[in-house]
Structure 1
Amino acid sequence: MATTVLRHFTPISSSLKPPSHHRRFLHNNLFPKIPLPSSPPSLLNFSAGNSEPQPPPPLPETDCPVPPEQQPINEYQSLSSSFPFSWASGDLIEYSTRLFVTGATFAVFVGLPVSWFGSIGPEYEPVKRILSASSSGIFVVTLAVVRMYLGWAYVGNRLLSATVEYEETGWYDGQVWVKTPEVLARDRLLGSFSVKPVLARLKNTLVILGLSLILVVNLSNSPFASAYRTYKDPTDRSSMPITGAYNDESARTFEPEAFCGKPSLDDDDL
């Protein structure tokens, strides 16, 4: 009796187990096979009328007739890593420090020796000589900043322009290439957010240097520089006339009538 009951009541797991052919049917429907291409999909392009794979469309730079060294994007990369143009695109403190060191070095080692030893009696007006050396350093830094501004302005104009002027082999075969929309958008984005801030910094630097140069030149020609004079000690015998050499005071003593003008007090005493 017990054996008969167990035969009719089989385990639930075994009764719910699908047959093998039904299992394969569900597996094929839930997980279909995806054919894998022999090459990456990005490198294949099948057209409607041709079943053979076609090469992908060229990149914007591939069909550009401009030589690589004359393309605006390459000119920008070359300029941003060259000396001294890379100073303007760096940190503000580092940029200011380099300009100050350049001007101070030129003023100390070139401007000061020239203004000190190239004039007569520099020890009488030391402030004027120092201001002259400072103006030479500011002038040299101004020339360097002007050169940087011209280089960045040239590259910025080529990036923002819709056309590119280039030369294939020399100056006599100039050509003009119209940028594609992709290249134009990239170049203008780079010019607006990378080149224009550099040009604004250089403009502000030129204004500051110009005002500083005008101020130093005016100070060197003002009574302020002449007020700080150093005079020789009257007791210094090196300034006295040398025996046997001609001297106006000695000549006036012996021949007062030979000198025009009112005689001095020493002549009246004689």
Structure 2
Amino acid sequence: MATALHPSPKPLQLSLFFPSTTNFLSPILPSLHHSHRHRHHSLKSSIPKIPFSSSFRNGSNTPPGTECPVPQDQQPINEYQTLSTSFPFSWAAGDIVEYGSRLFVTGASFAILIGLPVAWFGAVGPDQEPFKRIICSVSSGVLVVTLAVVRMYLGWAYVGNRLLSATVEYEETGWYDGQIWVKTAEVLARDRLLGSFSVKPVLSRLKFTLVILAASLFVCVLLLINIDGGQKLSNITSEIGVIPGVYNDESARAFEPDAFCGEPGLP
């Protein structure tokens, strides 16, 4: 008797009920990764970027696509860079403590090494007026510092005006062929930003310094006037009997007793 053979049933696939970790998360991870990249890209796009053109990296200060006929050494931004690193203009752009100490050392050195010897040995009888000689030497030091600060102010003001101006005056080969170039919008915005945030604070510092130096010079002049006035007054008081034009009865009787002979009060 023949027996019918039935094929054995196929084993159930356990992956349908218990999928592996890799197969189970594979459809989910790409979506998470995609959403993370999208959120990160949206976050980066919300931060404004400052463009850095290749021309600035290569050492040129002219934006790309701009034909600037101004020579490199006459461009305002190059003039600013040169001024900010030159002596003594770089003092004003440095630290405030270093700036003040350099001015003080300059004035004190000039007053001690030059002003004091000239005031002390260049006058007659300096031993009688030592305070006056010291004031003269201090005034010379303050005056030298004032001249240096004025020179720095003029240099920074010149560069600041060229940065803030919409046009640039330049010379191609000499003074006889002066030209004027109108800045582009990008160059004008860059120069005015630099002039407003880098040059104007320096000019304000120099103006404040000039006010202090002017007040110091005024005080020194007042002291010298008071010293000279006190000396003249003491000389007049001590020599009032012999100064021409000054007359009174007591001095006349003392120097000309014969003229008052027989009058009362004659010793």
- TM-score range (shorter-chain normalised) is 0.5 to 0.7
What's the counterpart of residue 13 of structure 2? 11
Letter in 1 for 2:226: S
Other-structure match for 1:124: 128
The verdict on how the C-alpha distance between 1:61 and 1:93 changes in structure 2, with shifts beyond 3 A counting, is farther
Q: Which amino acid aligns with 1:136?
A: S
Question: Corresponding residue for 1:92?
Answer: 96
1:2-36 deviation per Cα after TM superposition (whole angstroms, max 9, x unaligned)? 993343x353559x9xxxxxxxxxxxxxxxxxxxx
Measured against aligned partners, the alpha-carbon deviations of 1:109-144 in whole angstroms (never above 9, x if no partner) come to 000000000000101100000000000000000000
Q: Indicate how the Cα distance of structure 1 residues 163 and 2 shifts in structure 2: closer, same or farther if over 3 A, else same.
A: farther
Query: TM-score, normalization: structure 1?
Result: 0.64
Shift of 1:59: 3.1
- 1:202 corresponds in structure 2 to 206
Note the residue ranges of structure 1 that are not aligned, 5 or more in a row: 17-41, 44-57, 228-260, 264-270
2:195 to 188, 191, 197: 191
**2:111 matched to which residue of 1?**
107
Distance 1:60 1:149, change over 3 A: farther
1:203 CA displacement: 0.6
8 Å contact kept, 2:142–2:217? yes
Compute the displacement of 1:182 (Å). Answer: 0.3
Pair 1:179–1:2, CA change in 2 (3 A): farther
Q: Is contact 2:167–2:180 with CA below 8 Å preserved after alignment? A: yes
SS in 1 for 2:194: helix
**Residues 61 and 201 of structure 1: is their aligned pair in 2 closer, same or farther, counting only changes over 3 Å?**
farther
Structure 1 distance, partners of 2:5, 2:183, is 92
**Counterparts of 2:5 and 2:161 in 1: how far apart (Å)?**
99
CA distance in 1, matches of 2:216, 2:102: 17
Once the two structures are superposed, the pairs formed by residues 119-198 of structure 1 within 5 Å of their partners are 119-198=123-202
User: Which shows bigger deviation, 157-166 or 217-226?
Assistant: 217-226
Structure 2, unaligned runs of 5 or more: 20-52, 55-61, 232-253, 257-267
Give the partner amino acid of 1:195. V
CA pair 144-73 structure 1, distance change in 2 beyond 3 A: same
Q: For the Cα contact (< 8 Å) 2:169–2:178, is it kept in 1?
A: yes
How many angstroms apart in 2 are the aligned matches of 1:201 and 1:210? 14
Residues 225 and 6 of structure 1, relative CA distance in 2, 3 Å threshold? farther
Residue pair 1:165, 1:175 contacting (<8 A) in 2 also = yes
Provide the secondary structure at the position in 2 that maps to 1:183.
helix
Q: CA RMSD in A?
A: 3.0
* 2:219 paired residue number: 215
The alpha carbon displacement at 1:223 in A equals 3.6
TM-score by length of 2: 0.65
Instruction: Name the count of aligned residue pairs.
Output: 191
Judge conservation of contact 2:111–2:137 (CA < 8 Å) in 1.
yes
CA distance in 1, matches of 2:9, 2:207: 99
The 3-state SS of whatever aligns with 2:169 is strand
Instruction: Give CA deviations for 1:79-106 in whole Å, capped at 9, x if unaligned.
Output: 0011000111111111111111100000
Where does residue 68 of structure 1 map in the other structure?
72
